[in-house]
Structures are given as C-alpha cells and as structure tokens.
Amino acid sequence: MTSLHRAAEKGRVAALQALLKRGADKDAADGQGRTPLHYAAMKGQAAALRVLLDSGADKEAAGRDGWRPLHWAAMKGQVGVLTTLLKRGADKEAADHNGQRPLHLAVMSGQVAALRALLRRGADKEAADGSSARPIHYAALKGWVAALQALLDGGADKDAVDEESGYTPLHFAAANGHVAALQLLLDSGADKEAVDASGGTPLHHATLKGQVAALQVLLDRGADKEAAGGSGRRALHYAALNGDVAVLRALLERSADKEAADEAGLTPLHYAAVEGQVAALQVLLESGADKQAVDGSGATPLHYAVVKGQVATLRVLLEGGCRATVAADGGKAVRIALREGQHAAAELLIAEGAAAATGSAEQWAAFAQWQRGRVAQLVAEREAAEAAREAERAELRALFVAIAAEARRQAGAGRPAKRRRCAAAP
C-alpha cells in the first residue's frame, strides 16, 4: 500500500493533492490489486474520490477478485460515492470473477439505499451471476425483505428461475425459513407450485429443511401438500425420510395422505423404516398408517427394515403388529435377513415366531457363526464388567481401611497423656 492509498482511505484530501502533484501513481495497485480509488470508494471518502477522478484515475480498475470501485461502493452501501461514480460513467453492469455485478453485491449485503440508487440508474435487475442467480434470488436467500421489496417495486421477476438449479425466489425463501420474505413473494403473486430442476416445489424445500413456519405459511396459502416431486415423492415422504417429526405432524394435521405411494410404490412408512427413523415411524403408526402396505415388489416396511438391518425400527414394527411371515419378491423376512447378512434382524424375527425353516445351509452357517461370536462377545463384556466391579470394590475397601486408620490416628493424638506419679520427697 502506498502513501496515496493511505491518503485516499483516510480522506486526507490535501495530502492526496500534494502526492498527486509530486507525480504519485494514481493507479498504483496494492497486493490485492486495489488502487487508491478502491479505498476511497470502500471507505466512502467522496472528496478524495473526486480528487482522484479529476486526476484521471481509472474508475474501471479491477482488483484480483474482479471488483471495481463501484462494486465496493455498492457492497459497503456508500451511496454518495456510488452516485458520483455512476455520474462519472462507471460501468454499472461490470461483473467480477464470479459474475457478480454491483447490484448483486448491494442486495447480498442488504444495502437498500445503494440498491435503489443502482435501479434508478437503470441497473439490470435480471442480471445473472456466474451461478445463474439474479439479484432477487440473493434477496430471497438472505431474507432481506426491504431489498426484496425494492426489487419487486422496480419490476423484478418474482418467478425468476435460477437456470442452474431451477429454483425461484420462493424456493430460496422456503428452504431458508424466511417467513416474511415468503409472505411478501406470495402477496406479490409468486407461483407457490413452481417446480425446480428436480421437480421440487417450495413446499418440498420447506419440508426437506425442516422449516415448519414456512411450511405452515405455504399450506395456509393453499400450496398443494400432495404435489409429487422427483420419483413421485410427496412432502410426507420427505418428512419421513428425514425423520422430522415436527414437519410430519404439521402435514398430518393438514390431512396429508399417509398412504401416498411414490413411483416405486413406497409409502412414507417405507421411507421411515428404511432410514431407521423410529420416531417418525411411531408417529405414522399412531396416525393409522398401513403397516402392511406393499410396494411394487410386494415388500412391506418390515422388509425394508430387515434389508437395512434397522433392528430398532424392526422391533417397533413387530410390536405394532406387523406380520413377519408376509413374503416379498425376495422371500419371507427371515430369508431376506439371512441373505443380506442382517443376523441381528434374523434373530429378532425368529424370536418373534417367524418360520426358521428357510435359507440355505451357507446362510445358516453364517448365522450360527455370528451367534457364536455374539455370545463370546457378551461373555467377554460380562467378564470385563465383573473385573471392573471387583476393582472398584477393592478400591473402596482400601479407602475404608485408610479412613479407619486415619480416624484411629486422630483419636490417639487427641487423648491426654497419662501423668507419671513422682516419688515423695524424703
């Protein structure tokens, strides 16, 4: 950083003029590629900025990040400096290395006054950055309501699609739980059923991210709780998949279809079973979900729990009355457990009365070996626990002995010494 940089940063106009008069390089770059004009812009030093511009400083000089003085003025909300740069012809559509223009940065940092100043000068409100995000996407993502309002007032597209993800502003607001931004977009008529590149609606995104308040707003506004997204999954499928009990209850309270099947025939209960989401499973069972529902291959939630070795889930299903004897395409549950090497699941099924006369000799041999190993492990754990208890008892005994010895010592120290009788004088 040169003396000219420091003078510009501090707004020391007299020093700046003196340095320029002596021939200081008005466009000298520091280690980040920033010129004195960058520093005047970021610090809001309007007088210093004018001196530099009058001396012919390059208003389009870019730092290593591609930021020009106008980017800094927008990011920092330096409206006076920003207005001066625009009046002097600075490029309001200049993009940095990430494709971000001054308008993107003003929105990202919540600089509403700078945002409005750029819009008044005709900045492109639909400009996309290098990731296809527009300024309105930034506002929705951040939940900047004032910036969002300014963009909508300026005519920004409320349903603008991020070409990379297919998200609209409503998707961003819903996924991030920005309720006020969500309500503003809905009030402006944003499409609550817009689908992204994967077929997801804003309601799906609120569900996936566990945004209960956003979910409630969308449901209150009439969003379709049965809309099918990727692979035919509905919001309830996603809630079960994530084990999100709060979202699950919110959807069930709105009468979401607990028996809805995706393209493969899986119900929300199947999803909870395969992911081992015990709490979600219990909520669905309590709501009356069909525990014997079958997918396209005839598999019930119990079969899915067996395949994945979800023993806790399996136990809940069995306690809930699921039948372990129903066969899917892969056979009955015990056969599937043996085939998949899910021996703990097989043991539980057999204990619950499932037929054991199934499976190959090799599978049963593997099961027996697993049981032997488990028994050996239990014995070892029990012996280790007993050894630990014995060590603790020995330590306590030693402590008691030490306490007793100390008590005797203190008792002896406190007892008065016996007087010796002296012989009578002759």
Asked if 145 and 181 count as a contact pair (C-beta separation under 8 A), the reply is yes
Task: Check residue 322 and give its pLDDT.
Answer: 78
pLDDT tens readout for residues 41-70:
999 999 999 999 999 999 999 999 999 999
**What is the rounded end-to-end Cα distance, in angstroms, of the chain?**
109
Distance of alpha carbon 345 from alpha carbon 327, whole angstroms:
16
How many other CB atoms are found less than 10 A from the CB of residue 81? 27
DSSP string, 326-377: --BTTBSHHHHHHHTT-HHHHHHHHHTT---S-S-HHHHHHHHHHHHHHHHH
| Mean pLDDT (the chain, rounded) | 87
- Structural domain boundaries in the chain: 1-124
As a whole number, mean pLDDT of residues 340-354 equals 72
As a whole number, mean pLDDT of residues 405-419 equals 65
Q: What is the enclosing helix (H) or strand (E) of 42?
A: helix 36-42
Q: Which of 242-251, 329-338, 398-407 has the lowest mean pLDDT?
A: 329-338
As a whole number, mean pLDDT of residues 408-426 equals 55
Distance of alpha carbon 380 from alpha carbon 378, whole angstroms:
5
Q: Which of 160-164, 197-201, 293-297, 412-416 has the lowest mean pLDDT?
A: 412-416
Please give the structure tokens belonging to residue 251: 């959807």
What are the CA-CA distances from residue 394 to residues 313, 382, 404 (Å)? 42, 18, 15
Written as one letter, the residue type at 168 is T
Distance of alpha carbon 74 from alpha carbon 70, whole angstroms:
6
pLDDT at residue 154 tops 80: yes
Asked if 326 and 295 count as a contact pair (C-beta separation under 8 A), the reply is no
Tell me which of 376 and 197 has the higher pLDDT.
197
pLDDT above 90 covers what percent of the chain?
68
328 forms beta bridges with 331
DSSP string, 49-109: HHHHHHTT--TT---TTS--HHHHHHHHT-HHHHHHHHHTT--TT---TTS--HHHHHHHT
CA atoms within 13 A on the CB side of 298: 9
Distance of alpha carbon 201 from alpha carbon 206, whole angstroms:
9
pLDDT tens readout for residues 106-122:
999 999 999 999 999 99
CATH architecture classification, 1-124? Alpha Horseshoe (1.25)
pLDDT at residue 412 tops 90: no
Task: Check residue 309 and give its pLDDT.
Answer: 86
How many other CB atoms are found less than 10 A from the CB of residue 366? 16
pLDDT tens readout for residues 355-388:
554 555 555 555 555 455 554 454 455 556 667 7
Classify each residue of 221-259 as buried b or exposed e, where b means 16 or more C-beta atoms within 10 Å of its C-beta.
eebebebbbeeebbbbbbbbbbbbbebbbbbbeeebebe
With tokens 């870019």, the residue in question is: 62
Tell me which of 91 and 379 has the higher pLDDT.
91
pLDDT at residue 29 tops 90: yes
- 3-state DSSP of 185-230: HHHCCCCCCCCCCCCCCHHHHHHHCCCHHHHHHHHHCCCCCCCCCH
Task: Check residue 335 and give its pLDDT.
Answer: 75
Q: Is residue 29 helix, strand or coil? A: coil
Task: Check residue 337 and give its pLDDT.
Answer: 74
With tokens 């049963």, the residue in question is: 364
Q: What is the enclosing helix (H) or strand (E) of 247?
A: helix 245-253
